[in-house]
Structure formats: structure tokens, C-alpha cells
């Protein structure tokens, strides 16, 4: 009888332990699920907040107003290419005040990008009427890269004739980007970018194809003329 009682006690103890462990496991799983839900909700709210902030930032501005957004004093970093203004704040290592392309921050970078130059004079002169076909293509390549990575936050109000007239392909892409800027995910933007890249390579000559593939590997590694 004692042995049976002892075995019954052990059985109940093991059963109780199993129940406790089951409850603990369920509670931990429940808490993990809640934590994951909370994390996802926070990410969604952050994305919504960023989208609202981008909408508030979107406005047409003059070149003088653009100069305020050069990344100093924790300000956003904007740059213009043709008449489109891009927010490149997420890449301060490239466009921040002391970065390699920091000269373009808060300025119309069209001429410098097309000529692949970091000379101050190429940022002071805004027209691109004297651009060769190759320089125009190079500028368009930069613009398509910007469209794939950075949001458009406005247009230049005092755009110069010659810099504010994109080629048809870029103009069409800009129209789509402006209309659907906040509706597309990053993945969708990359698909559009790849499609444009394929179209560009099909219609371009051999030199522009080779140049585009080289630039597309890493535009940030271009050896700009100094």
C-alpha cells in the first residue's frame, strides 16, 4: 500500500510538473507572439510617420531655399538633378557635409553629376546646354539611380533652361515616380529600376551600355575628376 501511494504521489508530481511546464511554455509563446505583434505595429507606425514626414517635406523650392538642406546642424540632405529634388538624408556617408559627394548637398548637382566632377565651378554653373551625348547619358544614369533609392521631395522653382528638360525616358519615369511615390514599396521601385535599366541597355549604343553597367555596379565608387 505504501509503495502504491508513493508511486501515485510521484505520478501526480510528474503530472503536475508537466502541466506547469506546459503552462509556462504557452505563456512564453503567447508573450513572444504579442511582442512580435507589437514590434510589427511599431514598424508600421514608423513607416507611416516617415511617409507623412516626406509628404510634409514635399514642396517646390528655389535654389536659395535648397541651400538650407545641406546636412549641417542635423538638417536633412537634399540635392537636385535637373529640376528634381531628392532627399538623400539616409546616405550621409556619401552626401553629408564632410563626405565625398558633400559638395552636391543643398545644390543643383546636374552639371557636376553629368561631368563626373567635384569642382566648385561645376556646381556654380547650372546649365547643361553644352553637354555632350555621353554627359547627358551619365546624368540620366545618376537620376535613375536616385529614383530607385531616394524619395523626391519637390522640384526647383527657378530651374534653368537646359537643366530642367529631362530626356523623354527620364521625364516619363519622373512622372510615374511623383504620382506613385508613397504607394510603392522599395522592392517595387527596384523592379521599375531594373526594367528601366533593361530598356536603356536595349536602346543604347555599345559605349553607353558598358558605361551604364559599370556605373550601375556602384555609382558611389566613381572616380570623379578633381
Domain span at residue 84? 57-221
87, pLDDT greater than 80 = yes
Burial of residue 100 (number of CB atoms within 10 Å: 0-12, 13-18, 19+): middle
Cell of 219: 555609382
Inter-residue contact 90 to 63 (CB < 8 Å): no
48 domain-assigned: no
Q: What is the pLDDT of residues 8-61, one digit of tens each?
A: 677 777 788 888 888 888 888 888 888 888 888 888 888 777 666 666 667 788
38 domain-assigned: no
Inter-residue contact 83 to 163 (CB < 8 Å): yes
Q: What is the pLDDT of residues 176-217, one digit of tens each?
A: 655 555 455 555 555 665 666 565 455 544 444 444 444 445
183 domain-assigned: yes
pTM over 0.75: no
9 domain-assigned: no
30 domain-assigned: no
Distance CA 128, CA 136 (A): 8
Distance CA 144, CA 193 (A): 7
Q: Can you give the CATH number for the domain in which 192 is found?
A: 3.10.120.10
32 domain-assigned: no
76 domain-assigned: yes
16 domain-assigned: no
Q: What is the pLDDT of residue 206?
A: 47
Amino acid at each position: 500500500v505504501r509503495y502504491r501511494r508513493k508511486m501515485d504521489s510521484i505520478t501526480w508530481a510528474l503530472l503536475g510538473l508537466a502541466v506547469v511546464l506546459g503552462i509556462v511554455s504557452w505563456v512564453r509563446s503567447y508573450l513572444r507572439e504579442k511582442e512580435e505583434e507589437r514590434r510589427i505595429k511599431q514598424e508600421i507606425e514608423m513607416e507611416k510617420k516617415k511617409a507623412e514626414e516626406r509628404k510634409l517635406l514635399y514642396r517646390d523650392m528655389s535654389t536659395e531655399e535648397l541651400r538650407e538642406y545641406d546636412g549641417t546642424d542635423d538638417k536633412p540632405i537634399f540635392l537636385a538633378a535637373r529640376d528634381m529634388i531628392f532627399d538623400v538624408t539616409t546616405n550621409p556617408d556619401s552626401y553629408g557635409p564632410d563626405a565625398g559627394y558633400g559638395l552636391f548637398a543643398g545644390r543643383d548637382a546636374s552639371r557636376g553629376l553629368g561631368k563626373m566632377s567635384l569642382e566648385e565651378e561645376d556646381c556654380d554653373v547650372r546649365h547643361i546646354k553644352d553637354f555632350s551625348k555621353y554627359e547627358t547619358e551619365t546624368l540620366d544614369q545618376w537620376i535613375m539611380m536616385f529614383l530607385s533609392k531616394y524619395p523626391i521631395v519637390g522640384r526647383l522653382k527657378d530651374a534653368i533652361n537646359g537643366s530642367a528638360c529631362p530626356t523623354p525616358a527620364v521625364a516619363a519615369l519622373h512622372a510615374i515616380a511623383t504620382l506613385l511615390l508613397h504607394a510603392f514599396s522599395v522592392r517595387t521601385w527596384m523592379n521599375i529600376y531594373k526594367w528601366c535599366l533593361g530598356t536603356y541597355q536595349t536602346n543604347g549604343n555599345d559605349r553607353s551600355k558598358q558605361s551604364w553597367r559599370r556605373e550601375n555596379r556602384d555609382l558611389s565608387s566613381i572616380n570623379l575628376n578633381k
